[in-house]
Structure 1
Amino acid sequence: MQVEENLNGERLDKALSTLTGESRSLVQVLIKKQAVLVNGEKTKANYKVKAGDELSYEMEEPEELSVTPENIPLDIYYEDADVLVVNKPQGMVVHPSAGHSTGTLVNALLYHCTDLSGINGVVRPGIVHRIDKDTSGLLMVAKNDIAHESLSEQLKAKTSDRIYLALVHGDIKHQKGTIEAPIGRAKEDRKKMAVVADGKEARTHFEVLERFGDYTLVKCELDTGRTHQIRVHMKYIGHPLAGDPKYGPKNTLAGNGQFLHASELGFLHPRTGEALHFKAPLPKIFEETLEKLREE
């Protein structure tokens, strides 16, 4: 297909999306897979097309769905034709991966509804963002590609609200602050993330809610969504999460993993533009631990 005058100067991903009707997110995936050619050459998504450029692309055959729907109860906070908000319990993996082929949030979602976006492929239908297995709390799920694209753009533009409650070791001296430190794979252990000079931009705002002497309850708000971001950033400033088996000390509070809960989630509805905001209470073990600390 040929680029027309009205698209001259547009980014390649936007131009191809306009010409084909495919979602921009899908087009970006195709470009990354080098399945898009401009005048017979591979290029990047931010290439500015010129009138007369010849564009071609190759779509892969859709994969057969291989994730088994499972009748697992879901704590759904909101649902309509475009989006679903669910409160994920601690201990549940978000999507299938090596060693976790069943019992995931995706297995449960596929049983609950079949209309999930396909942008992230077969094993991650509808998944716009993730939280760790042992982190509980709110997640937004896209039920079609248009909704997925809108929610993803809001995450990139930092216009959605993602607020977490975390119980950390030590007494944080400051009442509030911002941790701005790049995150990437740890050099000494590739299974861990760490603050590294060549990592990706990461920013976490925190505010102290309650002090317990040896522990502090903080509210964390994310500007970015790097893997293990809060866990890595709090360790970086000397206050690792209580119960964290990967980044925390061995001498810690008993629980089912890190004391981290995605308590609030806000975004604009992808179809109506309505501002939606949800709050989920702390899991029972988190609340009981706070009560014990208050008593002590």
Structure 2
Amino acid sequence: MILVQEQHQLQQQQQQQQQQRGKVGDFVFSGDVISCQMFLGNYSKKQCYPNITYEKPQFNVPVLYEDDHVAVLNKPAGIAVYSDTRNSSGGKKQRRTIHFLLPFILIPPKKGTEGGILRRPGIVHRIDKPTSGILVIAKTKIAMQSLHEQFRTRKIQKIYTAIINGDIQQQVGENDNDNDRKEDLSCWNVIDYPLGGKYAITSWKLLRKVQSLNAKDGILSKIEIRLETGRYHQIRRHFSWLYRRPLVGDHLYAGLLQAHHFRSKGLYLCSNGISFHHPIMRNNDDANDETVIVEVTIDLPKRFDKLMNAEESWALYDHSC
């Protein structure tokens, strides 16, 4: 009896040694058995996507909106959307990204959902690692195609808020002929300046100015931004290169324009609003049966107003005392 058990254990060990996880480029020989494991990993959360083989990254991201086709997240600053394999050695640090977190925080679409369910959530667009704010995710193939097309045709409206190191001069648009509107800070200014050989258009308006002893021109400016195009680092390059007024905390494009006082505070840029057409949901009450427009807005991180208030208080303080 003992001999039979030992032989059985030996056979199991031999089978385990022969089994291996296949990789791209592996050879397949006659007699090999190829299998597919449909559910891997140990999960305490039932809503997690089933085809995940790694542990959950050690951070969370708020989900602002979610249905069977799309989801909207609030990405914190300092978290990358994708891992940079050129500068990463792999492992848990490489997995500290939105891409690896998505299957753990989103609910898989219901069985039978139309449009082709994706095996894992798909990221529709990116925002920079130091930028915080809204990120749109697709959960079905039809949603991915629809959202990509909306970005391509610029039907998606995105709103950013930034703090600029310097005094930004509010200008009146070409169509604003009314003199009373020249003092109106709500009018939009347009930057039409090519980047990388491609046209790039950024619209902005001034929200608030405060005095600052550490800022260029002695002024910090908070502005609202709308992008007509989506070029690489468009906002940061437009204001740093064209206006010579970089975003506070911008290490990459500020150079000597950035005061040392602001270099350790992080980038003050937030994507705080978005609107897009839902790929599936439609307005039954509408005679044209048009798709539902999804609008999502978030409050700015508290550090934006905290910085503005602190700089203004220090500038107005009587330093002669």
> Normalising TM by the smaller chain, what interval?
0.5 to 0.7
Residue 286 of structure 1 and its aligned partner are, at CA, apart by 2.2
SS class of match (1:126): strand
Pairing 1:84–2:75 present:
no
Supply the AA of the counterpart residue of 1:284.
Answer: K
Pairing 1:219–2:224 present:
yes
SS class of match (1:274): strand
Unaligned runs of 5+ in 2: 1-50, 110-115, 172-187, 212-218, 282-290, 316-321
Supply the AA of the counterpart residue of 1:182.
Answer: P
Which string of whole-angstrom CA distances, capped at 9 and with x for unpartnered residues, describes residues 71-98 of structure 1? 5322111000000000000100011222
Number of residue pairs aligned between Structure 1 and Structure 2: 215
User: Partners in 1 of 2:198 and 2:108 — Cα distance?
Assistant: 33
C-alpha contact (below 8 Å) 1:70/1:110 kept by paired residues: no
Please show how residues 140-219 of structure 1 align to structure 2 within 5 Å. Answer: 140-175=136-171, 176-184=188-196, 199-213=197-211, 214-219=219-224
Supply the AA of the counterpart residue of 1:161.
Answer: Q
Residue 161 of structure 1 and its aligned partner are, at CA, apart by 1.1
CA radius of gyration, larger in: 2
Alignment-derived partner of residue 266 in structure 1? 275
Supply the AA of the counterpart residue of 1:88.
Answer: K
User: Partners in 2 of 1:163 and 1:280 — Cα distance?
Assistant: 10
Supply the AA of the counterpart residue of 1:221.
Answer: R
Pairing 1:242–2:248 present:
yes
SS class of match (1:131): coil
C-alpha contact (below 8 Å) 1:208/1:218 kept by paired residues: yes
SS class of match (2:308): helix
Alignment-derived partner of residue 107 in structure 1? 100
Alignment-derived partner of residue 301 in structure 2? 283
- Name the Cα RMSD after superposition: 2.5
Give structure 1 regions of 4+ aligned residues with deviation exceeding 3 angstroms: 64-69, 113-116
Supply the AA of the counterpart residue of 1:203.
Answer: I
Which string of whole-angstrom CA distances, capped at 9 and with x for unpartnered residues, describes residues 191-218 of structure 1? xxxxxxxx22211101011112421111
SS class of match (1:232): helix
TM-score with structure 1 setting the length = 0.66
User: Partners in 2 of 1:289 and 1:143 — Cα distance?
Assistant: 37
Identity %: 33
Unaligned runs of 5+ in 1: 1-63, 185-198
C-alpha contact (below 8 Å) 1:134/1:256 kept by paired residues: no
Alignment-derived partner of residue 234 in structure 2? 229
Sort the Cα spacing of 1:254 and 1:90 in 2 relative to 1 into closer, same or farther, 3 A.
Answer: same
TM-score with structure 2 setting the length = 0.61
